[in-house]
Amino acid sequence: MAHTEHQTMRRVLHREIAGTIGVLTDEHDFRAMRRYRSFTFDDHATYLRQVETVLKTRAAQGSHTTIALFDPQDYAVYCAENGLDPEAPSSRTRFTAELAATGPTVPYDGRPLATLLPTLVDEAVRQATWEYATTLLTRLGPCPTCGEDIGRAAFTRAAALLVRILDTAPPGDRHLVCSVSGPPDTVISVLNGEQDPGGDTRLDEAETLEFTSVLALGLGTRSPGGLVMRTSAPATADRVYGWRLRAGRLEPLTASEVFDAYCTDVESGDIISPESGVDYCEPPDLGEEGTGHHH
């Protein structure tokens, strides 16, 4: 009787243990892991089906599971730095536990793995973009004239500008894109906001942090770039407008400049037919926040 009760209690506790599974999302990473003899899968599609079966089984048992992006290159570095044998399954377990604490994850909620994996990859890209922008901002150091931390000041200003941009936007859902040109790379961030019935805009916290960091990078490094806003509301035409980033400032684009940007093929330079139901217009005035002199 006591033995049966102990088994029951252990099953209850097992259901309350949260788990994380690291997933190899593409063929390239899958092939990289096959160099380890202890990794016994030989087909990526079969591997993904087995992962999904494990996720469904755990969900049916009442267990919560998060999915993490397993990067073979990061795994090799992790094993080397911690003196672990990369062939040992326990090493992969430890690495996956580290991912759960520090890396991007998405909860398994019953949706097909084919639907969840793009979300996971987007989370990984968002985190990598934020880390990259933050690193570059940190390296800017203090202003040689006043001693203020340039990166921190740029982030504070970018946050205020974003609030101003959202506050002056017409009613509707918002889609913002910010791009900052190298060197060495062009950094792009996207922010989506849905407007609730009360008129407030709901923003994802991680997306907002990444977007603000990229905008701050353009302001703080005085790099060229741009910011475009698109608003959508029922029974009205979408409105598109934007600003160019130049010398650490946001300068409004004219309606014709916005039209040209949206109706020109980036690669060929050919004219593209404008979308129906879209107004290309000038942005609202941001006030002193958008025109003042800064670092």
Distance (Å, rounded) from C-alpha 188 to C-alpha 220? 16
Strand ranges inside 48-139, DSSP E? 65-69, 105-107
In one-letter notation, the amino acid at residue 143 is: C
Beta bridge partners of 241: 229
The reported pTM is 0.78
List the chain pLDDT tens, one digit each, 295 residues: 545 554 554 554 445 455 899 999 999 999 999 999 999 999 999 999 999 999 999 898 888 899 999 999 999 999 999 999 999 999 999 999 998 888 889 999 999 999 999 999 998 899 899 999 999 999 988 888 888 889 999 999 999 999 999 999 999 999 999 999 977 788 999 999 988 877 788 999 989 999 999 999 999 999 999 999 999 999 899 999 999 999 999 999 999 998 888 777 656 667 777 778 889 999 999 885 544 446 6
Q: What is the pLDDT of residues 132-156, one digit of tens each?
A: 999 999 998 888 888 888 999 999 9
Using DSSP bridges, classify how beta strands 278-280 and 238-246 pair: parallel, antiparallel or unpaired. Answer: parallel
**Partner residues linked to 19 by β-bridges:** 65
pLDDT at res. 292: 45
Cα–Cα distance for residue pair 136/184, rounded to 1 Å: 11
- For 30-62, the pLDDT digits (tens) are 999 999 999 999 999 999 999 999 999 989 888
